[in-house]
Structure formats: C-alpha cells, structure tokens
Amino acid sequence: MGINQSVVQPVLSIIIVAYKSREEIGPCLASIPRELVVEGAVGNVEVMVVDNSPGDGAGEIVRRDFPLVQYVVAPENLGFGRANNVGFLQASGECVLFLNPDTVSNAQALGHCVRRLQTEPDIGLISPKLVLADGSMDLACRRSIPTLWDGFCRAIGLAAAFPRARLFAGYNLTHLPSGGTYTVGAINGAFMMTRRAILERVGLFDEAFFMYGDDLDLCIRVARAGLRIVYDGRVQITHLKGVSVGKDYERMARAIFDANRDVYLKHFNPRGSRLVACKYRLTFGAWKLFARLRARISGYRRVKPI
C-alpha cells in the first residue's frame, strides 16, 4: 500500500464489511500484507472497510492503527451484499477479495489464490481452506449446490455420521480430501476471491438478499457463466466463527433457511411454477424446523449455516 494507487493498479483489492466488529477488525487488518509477490512481480494490496455499524469503535481502530486502509461509513446497515457492492465500486484492483472481519489471513494464501486467478482464466471464484480457532475445518468453505437428498442427509445427521461416504456427504463434500483442490458448487462468503472482469460480466451481489444466501446466489451465477468455483485446500486462513446462544440461533436459523429458500426459488423455478415454489417452501420450512429442534436438543452449540 506504499505504492501510488492512482498510478499503479493494485493486484488485489480486499473489501471487508464490518458490523459490530470492534474485537475482530484489528487482528484481521493486521494479518493482511501490504504487498504480494505473484509470479515474481510485486503487487500492491488495496484494503477497504465498509462499516455497517459506525460508532461501535471499529472505525476508531481503523483510522488510528491502519491509516492506509480506506474506511467507508455506511449511512445505515446495508447488509452483506449491498455493502460489498459499495466497496467494489470504489475499489480498483485487478482481483477482488470479499473477506469477513473475523478472519486472519496470510500472504501465502492470498498470493496463491491471486496467482491461480491470473493463470487459470476458467476460475470464476476461489477459496482456500478455512480453519476454525480450534483447528478444525470450517465445512462451509466448500459445498455443493445441495439437492433435496443432500439436505435430508445433513438434517437428520447421516452426513455427520458418515462423513466419508459420497452418498451421504454430498452437502459439505467431506468425502473429498480437505488438502486437495477441485471444483465445487459453492464457497463461503467469508472468503470469496475473483477477478474484477468476472463481476463486471455476471453482476455484483444481488441486493435482494440482506445477510444470507447472497454468496450462494453469486456462485450459481458465476458457474452458469461457464466458470469454475474452486476450493484449494493447499493453503489456508483462519475463520474465527463465534458460538451463538439459543436466542441468536433462532434468529439466525430463520434468516439462513429463508434466504436459501429464496435462492432456490430464484434459480430453480424459472417458470414461476406454483407447485415448484410450494415444494421448496415446504422443504426448507421442514428443514428449518428440524434443524432448530436438533439445536435445542444439543444445547445450541453452534449455528451451522446452510
């Protein structure tokens, strides 16, 4: 970030949407390198924080400790997709990374993903392995576009009981090696890297989705444009996902399942069939109810996004 950004296009723009992120924003920004070495060339890294909750202290940390970071105050809570779009329209990098504030990055993972995007034009979106604070894998960083069978297996626990069985583990693809690299159906909104030209081609985040579902929607649109969604477990970053209490689970569960129901209604009911719409509403409603009941029984240990 010491290079004049008005003259030299950054190799990477990182957009971070903050919401009540006072505790996480400092470690997140401190982990991001100012430059990346890609294919022997040094490239500038541009970082932008769009703050959906100004006044919570995150902005003061950014201004005081990270003066080279561009800080954008949202006029209201814009939600995930809309705030990312605001950041994208002000960013200038060749590659763009949408990154959660509860992450800790490293130059190796960022440079590796940029290199793949630059050298493999058929890649539309890429994510490294996301590792939780306890060292386990964040399973949401590589997913299929789940069928009703995949959802059923996950909801009743077959996927967890038989994680290596392709028949039951199609949702989070746990039958595939976590240290490998391959095409998947979707990656997590906590880390989504792409090229600027791809977003200009397929469009930005759909602002009809406020908090959840927008990452899955973007993955579907990128894949339908003939590009690959790639998981690369040879590199990794840390994702410090929190553990929710029961009240938060109820709220988040409703939002998560309802948003993903809307993704299916948008993409898998092109003719607007009432019968198909009813099928998805009933399916996601039952899935949501079952997940909430299981969570109550297990003591609300963790919210598991779809």
Judge whether residue 31 has pLDDT over 70.
yes
CB 85 within 8 A of CB 207: yes
Judge whether residue 110 has pLDDT over 90.
yes
**In terms of Cα–Cα distance, which of 79, 61, 62, 80 is closest to 70?**
62
C-alpha 132/C-alpha 139 separation (Å) is 10
Q: Give the C-alpha distances (Å, rounded to integers) separating 173 from 4, 8, 159, 166, 200.
A: 43, 40, 9, 8, 30
Task: Give domain limits for the chain.
Answer: 12-143+185-239, 246-298
pLDDT of residue 248: 59
Residue found by looking up tokens 């950041």 in the block? 87
Q: Where is pLDDT greater, at 150 or 303?
A: 150
Residue found by looking up tokens 């948008």 in the block? 266
pLDDT class for 247, splitting at 50, 70, 90? very low
| Residues paired with residue 183 on neighbouring β-strands, in sequence order | 230
Judge whether residue 19 has pLDDT over 80.
yes
Q: Tell me 11's DSSP state.
A: S
pLDDT class for 61, splitting at 50, 70, 90? very high
Strands 228-239 and 70-73: unpaired
pLDDT class for 43, splitting at 50, 70, 90? very high
Chain segment 267-279, per-residue pLDDT in tens? 888 888 888 889 8
At the second CATH level, the architecture of 12-143+185-239 is Alpha-Beta Complex (3.90)
Chain segment 189-226, per-residue pLDDT in tens? 999 999 999 999 999 999 999 888 999 999 999 999 99
Mean pLDDT, the chain, as a whole number? Answer: 89
Element (H, E) at 224: helix 214-224
pLDDT of residue 245: 37
pLDDT of residue 1: 44
CB 29 within 8 A of CB 66: yes
Name the amino acid, one letter, at 141: C
Instruction: Please indicate, yes or no, whether the overall pTM of this predicted structure exceeds 0.85.
Output: yes
Residue found by looking up tokens 């009240």 in the block? 247
Judge whether residue 2 has pLDDT over 90.
no
* Residues recorded for the chain: 306
Strands 95-99 and 103-104: unpaired
Q: Among 108-117, 205-214, 254-263, where is mean pLDDT lowest? A: 254-263
Q: Tell me 241's DSSP state.
A: P
Phi and psi of 72, rounded to 5°? -115, 125
Q: Where is pLDDT greater, at 282 or 143?
A: 143
Residue found by looking up tokens 């996480």 in the block? 24
Mean pLDDT is highest, among 36-40, 147-151, 162-166, for: 162-166
Other residues' Cβ atoms within 10 Å of the Cβ of residue 175: 15
Task: Return all residues near 75 (Cβ < 8 A) that are at least 6 apart.
Answer: none
Chain segment 154-178, per-residue pLDDT in tens? 877 899 899 999 999 999 999 999 9
pLDDT class for 243, splitting at 50, 70, 90? very low
